[in-house]
Amino acid sequence: MVRLVSVVTNRTINLWQKNLRVVPSEIWHQTAIEVLILANNALTEISPEVRRLQTLRTLDLGHNQLAELPEAIGDLTGLRDFLYLHDNHLSSLPSSLRHLQRLRYLNISENEFSTFPDCITDMHELVELRVTDNQLSSVPDSIADLWKLRELHLRNNKLHTLPNIIGTLPELRHVDLRGNPIEVLPDSIASLPRLEKLDLRWVDTLVEPAWLHILENRGCLVYR
């Protein structure tokens, strides 16, 4: 058993790769912590008691075996730095996560999402979103609600295009579409005022639009 006193430092509990399999119940009584790292522990569930951790800024549940999350995570409205959920078995997210209105970074890569979770586009403070290595076939028009988004990572999905409305994201700087069967890109991408990097490597289905050269001429890096 991990001695909790040995892993609590500066309001951080770091239990990375401790072979826990189950989260120790005493964790849920550490109500003053700001960072909780439970990555790489073969976890299959998270207790609803997680809602007690109201001061959390960062929660790392990556590299586990989670097939679902409790609605209680949506009660952690103080989460504003990072939420790592990558490399699990998730195919949906609790609708309550729409209450994470202060979150800036979300990673749900390497899961089993075939549909873009609706709750994500209510997280209006997101700056970086990673949804790589899933089974997405589309991105919803509501992506335009993430008006602070700077990085959108969609590598290795099943996307054939993006919604035209993506061109309305004023802060978008980096779009990663590697490994998708992209056939056409919306012309609106050429209008993104801050775009710095468009990654199209391992995309062999796209007929390149002429405006790619316009992006490059203004300094945007286009990888293909």
Q: What is the CATH number of the domain that holds 74?
A: 3.80.10.10
User: In sequence order, which residues have a C-beta less than 8 Å from that of residue 136 and are 6 or more positions away?
Assistant: 113, 114, 115, 116, 154, 157, 158, 159
- Note whether residue 116 is domain-resident: yes
- Note whether residue 74 is domain-resident: yes
Q: How many angstroms separate the CA atoms of 70 and 17, rounded?
A: 22
For residue 206, what pLDDT is reported? 96
pTM: 0.95
User: In sequence order, which residues have a C-beta less than 8 Å from that of residue 61 and are 6 or more positions away?
Assistant: 38, 39, 43, 46, 69, 84, 85, 88
Amino acid identity at 133: D
- Note whether residue 35 is domain-resident: yes
Classify strands 197-199 and 82-84 as parallel, antiparallel or unpaired: unpaired
CB 36 within 8 A of CB 57: no
- Note whether residue 156 is domain-resident: no
The range of the structural domain enclosing residue 36 comes to: 4-135
pLDDT in tens, 141-158: 999 999 999 999 999 999
Q: Could you give the number of structural domains in the chain? A: 1
- Note whether residue 81 is domain-resident: yes
- Note whether residue 214 is domain-resident: no
- Note whether residue 79 is domain-resident: yes
Amino acid identity at 217: N
Per-residue pLDDT band at 8 (split at 50, 70, 90) = confident
pLDDT averaged over the chain? 96
Q: Is the dihedral of CA 68, 91, 116, 60 positive or negative?
A: positive
- Note whether residue 130 is domain-resident: yes
